[in-house]
Each structure stands twice: as C-alpha cells, then as structure tokens.
Amino acid sequence: MSGQRARLGVLVSGSGSNLQALLDASGQEGFPAEVACVVSNVPTAFALERARKAGVPAVVVDHKAYASKADFEKALLEALRAAGVEWVCLAGFMRLLSADFLAHYTGRVLNIHPSLLPAFPGLHAQRQALERGVKVAGCTVHFVDAGTDTGPIIAQAAVPVLPDDDEKSLSARILTEEHRLYPLAVRLAVSGKVTLDGTRTRVDAQATVGELSLRSPGAPR
C-alpha cells in the first residue's frame, strides 16, 4: 500500500471491542488506515482506556453537556476536524447522527451492527433475532445515512444460532465476527474498492473476491 494512510475518527459509547479491532488492524503492515482519534459521548466508556493504551488521542464529547443535538454534533465535528479525521467509524456509538452532520463526511461514515441487515435494525438486535427464532444471525458493516441502520451494505458475516443460545452467547459469537469484518470493510472502503452507489454499494469484484460475505467458522466452503 503506497501513500498516506486514511485518518479514522472512531466514535464510541461503550466497551470498544470493535475499536480495539481497528486499533489492532492499524498496527498491521499495509493496513491503509490509522485511528487518528477516538471520541466518546460517554465519559466512563472503557473504549477511552483502550485508546489511551494505544496512544491514540481520546476525547469526551458528552451529549448531556449540550443544549441541543445541533450543538452536540458541532462539538463532535470540531473534535474530528482538530484531529484531521477523513473517515468516521461508528463502533458501538449510541447516538443517531443527523443528515446535517453526515453531509460533512458524505460516503465516509461507516457503522457496524450486530444483525444481518435489513433484519433487526435498532437496539437489541441479537434479542430480536432470538425472539424471531432465526437460525442464522450475524453482523453488517454499512455506510451510514440518516436512518437507523439503513445505509448501503458493505459486508456481512453470518453465524449459526444454536438451540440453547441466549442473548449473551449469541452476542459473543457475533462479536467475534464483527472484529474480523470491521477492519476488512474499512480497508475496502478507504482504498476505494467498495463505494457508494445510490442505495447500494459498488464493489471492485477482483479486489474483494469472497471477502464481503464471510461465513461462520466451520461452515462448509
């Protein structure tokens, strides 16, 4: 990979295990992006510790400290701009971003969601999957639009739902795949191998053979 690495701003609210996956990927030779800053809207988020440990600037922009969503997003934008962020990755970030905010990073905001979208958008996706009795669950990385988990899909990974699964066991199985999928999707997006095309994404088929739909470990190939 030649040239400069894309500067990622990772927005978090909680544990930050997906942030960790991106930090780990950033440390790998040839990965075309680096985490330039981490922004949390939750002051106590463990993700902030992960950032500090990795030596990445971490800031808190607490939505509760702002009178309006517009003011909160203005502060978010300022933090991202100050760090020279080019791409925004939502990683367990529990606030919806407005169209106005997204317009500053058109086609450069990604999210990971723990379901095979468009099934089970929103909160408690794993619980929704269990309640519906699906036999295959998974995760999705998508470009972000102003809807809830509705943006164009970049990549998906599937896992089986086992008969004795509960929310915790299913979430853990999905999370393992999330940690593989998010760095892969970021790599393809920032290097222009997957691009926005209306409600879908356009894929450089040669560059992505077999990568955009990962199968669960152990599934027959």
Instruction: Using CB under 6 A, list all residues that contact ligand GRF.
Output: 14-18, 91-92, 112-114, 139, 175, 178
Asked whether residue 18 is marked as a ligand-binding residue, the answer is yes
Asked whether residue 69 is marked as a ligand-binding residue, the answer is yes
Amino acid, res. 77 = L
Q: Cβ of residue 104: shortest distance to ligand GRF, in angstroms?
A: 21
Cβ closer to ligand GRF: 16 or 183?
Answer: 16
Q: Which residue is nearest to ligand GRF (CB)?
A: 92
| Radius of gyration of the chain measured on its C-alpha atoms | 17
Structure tokens at 119: 């099934």
Q: Cβ of residue 126: shortest distance to ligand GRF, in angstroms?
A: 8
Structure tokens at 26: 């950033």
- Distance from C-alpha of 134 to C-alpha of 138, rounded to nearest angstrom: 11
* Residue 113 annotated to the active site: yes
* Cβ 117 vs Cβ 142: under 8 Å: yes
> Helix, strand or coil for residue 179?
helix
Asked whether residue 96 is marked as a ligand-binding residue, the answer is yes
Cβ closer to ligand GRF: 165 or 178?
Answer: 178
Amino acid, res. 166 = D
Q: Cβ of residue 2: shortest distance to ligand GRF, in angstroms?
A: 30
* Cβ 212 vs Cβ 203: under 8 Å: yes
Sheet of 213-214, strands arranged across: 58-60, 33-40, 6-12, 87-91, 109-113, 136-143, 153-160, 213-214
Cβ closer to ligand GRF: 129 or 175?
Answer: 175
Asked whether residue 15 is marked as a ligand-binding residue, the answer is no
> Helix, strand or coil for residue 50?
helix
- Distance from C-alpha of 175 to C-alpha of 177, rounded to nearest angstrom: 5
Cβ closer to ligand GRF: 36 or 112?
Answer: 112
Q: Cβ of residue 221: shortest distance to ligand GRF, in angstroms?
A: 25
Catalytic one of 104, 113, 124, 142: 113
Asked whether residue 17 is marked as a ligand-binding residue, the answer is yes
Return binding residues. Answer: 16-18, 69, 94-97, 111
* Residues identified as active-site: 113
Return binding residues for (6R)-10-formyltetrahydrofolate. Answer: 69, 94-97, 111
